Amino acid sequence: MPTPKALRPFAHREYRVLIAALAISIFGSGMWAVAMVYQVIHLGGGPLELSLVAAAGSVGLVAFVLAGGIAADRIPQRRLIIAVEGANLAVIAAVSGLAMTGLLQLWHVAAGSFVLGVGAAFFFPAYSAILPRILPAQDLLAANGMEGSMRPVLQQAAGPAVAGIVVAALSPSHAVTAVAVCHLLAFIVLNFLGQHALAAPANGAVDGAGGPAGAGAEDAEGRRRSFFHDLREGVIYTLGTPWLLWTLVWACISVLFLIGPIEVLLPFVVRDQLAGDSRMFGFLLAVMGVGAALGSLLTASFRLPRRYLTVMMVSWGAGSLPLAAVGVMDSFWAIAAALFIFGATGSVGMVIWGTLLQRRVPPHLLGRVSSLDFFVSLALMPVSMALAGPAAEVLPIWLIFLVAGGVCPVMAVIAMAVARMPADELAHPLDQEPALERTTAAGD
């Protein structure tokens, strides 16, 4: 019996090790999302303080993600991933120790959130760049779909749900300690990633064993390249690729309007509109995660759509519409349904997007373009989180969610039209000859 398409990446040992460590790590990240919220509230913080702590993590991510992309193209991705997990372990263990001893202060949580954001800035470009090195092109959609299914189940569903229970039964500090244990286990597993995964990036860096990644002259040139030279190369490619550029424009605007309300204001929607506690908040995030997991798994189980750009943008735009009504709903199940739809449609777009980067972006630019993706998409995340709390002080929450849910579909239509995405996807089919697409992407 043939292996289901969604499971084919597991035939590769390096992928199994990588995905196992990632599963443990993102489960811990899901617990942190809830533990951090209620740790801030436990310390006497409100929407404004929560905005500041959440924004600190976004600032760390945005400030360092370009450097992370260049690092992913210059040095072994395995080394970066292990180092990031070690840093995550150190910062969460420190926050846990301070919380358990009663010495934790709000600025400690904010500092820890900032360091976690910096770690994510180096992790995501390295992870995106290492996948095409350990998997054949035909398995990339399945791998992105599997990661897209696993992340919401663990980070948005199981992790938050478990953390909500731990917070309610014990305390936020106990939940933070559990997060530290998760990162410890992930760090141990990552060290089993094979040494051949240290193969150098395509820009001429030296591999983990000290061997050359290419011709000697190319190695010397790669080492001489400056930060700004590498950054400029990635920016020029992005600006010259309309489907890439306008997807990032859409993402940037959507993040500005969506992240703050979801991350900062949703806990207070649960408290004020539903009379709920940490468990209800955790389970709402879990419902959104289940929707995202199902959407990712469904996408991974089929071939990449011929109209891949259209499917991606329609999924993202239409899927955000239900959020417009969250601020006026007083039913748990109504809000849960809105979040389920948002999670499912968002993950469909994300699986396609991740595969497009790995299939259409030249390999030697993948780390930098991935980092630009995160930078441009998330550049306004700190602003969104920082403004959500103050905005809720002067505007009704229902109006904030109404605007957030209405802007994204409009921007999706604009992006598709300006970038001429329907024509582009027909001119560059990805359902056939994936290897050829990788070699010709530089000319797109």
**175: its two tokens:** 């939940």
Q: Is 7 part of a structural domain of the chain?
A: no
Among the listed residues 47, 161, 44, the one whose alpha carbon sits nearest the alpha carbon of residue 104: 44
Is the pLDDT score of 62 beyond 80? no
Contact 66, 375 (CB under 8 A): yes
**27: its two tokens:** 């489960």
Q: Is 198 part of a structural domain of the chain?
A: no
- Chain-centroid distance of CA 312 in Å reads 16
Is the pLDDT score of 249 beyond 50? yes
Among the listed residues 140, 122, 17, 1, the one whose alpha carbon sits nearest the alpha carbon of residue 71: 122
Could you tell me the sign of the dihedral formed by the alpha carbons of 165, 170, 176, 182, in that order? negative
Using left for φ > 0, alpha for ψ between -120 and 50, and beta otherwise, residue 433 falls in: left
pLDDT band at 314 (very low <50, low <70, confident <90, very high): very high
Is the pLDDT score of 113 beyond 60? yes
pLDDT higher for 63 or 224? 63
pLDDT higher for 403 or 58? 403
Given this model, what pLDDT does residue 440 score?
37
User: What whole-number distance in Å separates Cα of residue 180 and Cα of residue 403?
Assistant: 37
Least confident stretch, 93-102, 220-229, 281-290: 220-229
Is the pLDDT score of 444 beyond 70? no
Q: Is 213 part of a structural domain of the chain?
A: no
Q: Is 217 part of a structural domain of the chain?
A: no
Given this model, what pLDDT does residue 181 score?
92
| Residue in this structure with the two tokens 């590498």, named with its chain if needed | 230
Percent of the chain with pLDDT over 70: 87
Task: Give tens-digit pLDDT for 133-146.
Answer: 888 877 788 888 88
Q: Is 424 part of a structural domain of the chain?
A: yes
Q: Residue 345 to residues 36, 259, 319, 338, 350: CA-CA distances in angstroms?
A: 27, 16, 5, 11, 9
Q: Specify the length of the chain in residues.
A: 444
pLDDT band at 205 (very low <50, low <70, confident <90, very high): very low
Given this model, what pLDDT does residue 196 score?
52
Q: Is 208 part of a structural domain of the chain?
A: no
Q: Is 152 part of a structural domain of the chain?
A: yes
What average pLDDT does this structure show over 406-426? Answer: 91
Given this model, what pLDDT does residue 330 score?
82
For residue 175, give its domain range: 12-192+227-438
For the CA atoms of 151, 157, 159, 160, the dihedral, rounded to the nearest 10 degrees, stands at: 130
| Residue in this structure with the two tokens 């780390």, named with its chain if needed | 367
Domain at 344, CATH number: 1.20.1250.20
pLDDT band at 420 (very low <50, low <70, confident <90, very high): very high
| Residue in this structure with the two tokens 């849960």, named with its chain if needed | 336
Task: Give tens-digit pLDDT for 173-201.
Answer: 888 889 999 999 999 998 887 765 444 44
Least confident stretch, 160-169, 195-204, 301-310, 419-428: 195-204
Q: Residue 213 to residues 47, 78, 219, 229, 365: CA-CA distances in angstroms?
A: 50, 15, 7, 20, 15
What average pLDDT does this structure show over 157-161? Answer: 80
What rounded mean pLDDT belongs to the chain? 80
Given this model, what pLDDT does residue 371 score?
78
Is the pLDDT score of 204 beyond 80? no
Least confident stretch, 75-89, 175-189, 370-384: 370-384
DSSP-derived 3-state class of residue 13: helix
Q: Number of folded domains in the chain? A: 1
Task: Give tens-digit pLDDT for 303-312.
Answer: 888 888 999 9
Residue type, 22: L
Q: Which of 52-56, 173-177, 212-216 has the highest mean pLDDT?
A: 173-177
Contact 183, 83 (CB under 8 A): no
pTM for the model stands at 0.67
Q: Which of 58-62, 362-366, 419-423, 439-443 has the highest mean pLDDT?
A: 419-423
Percent of the chain with pLDDT over 90: 11
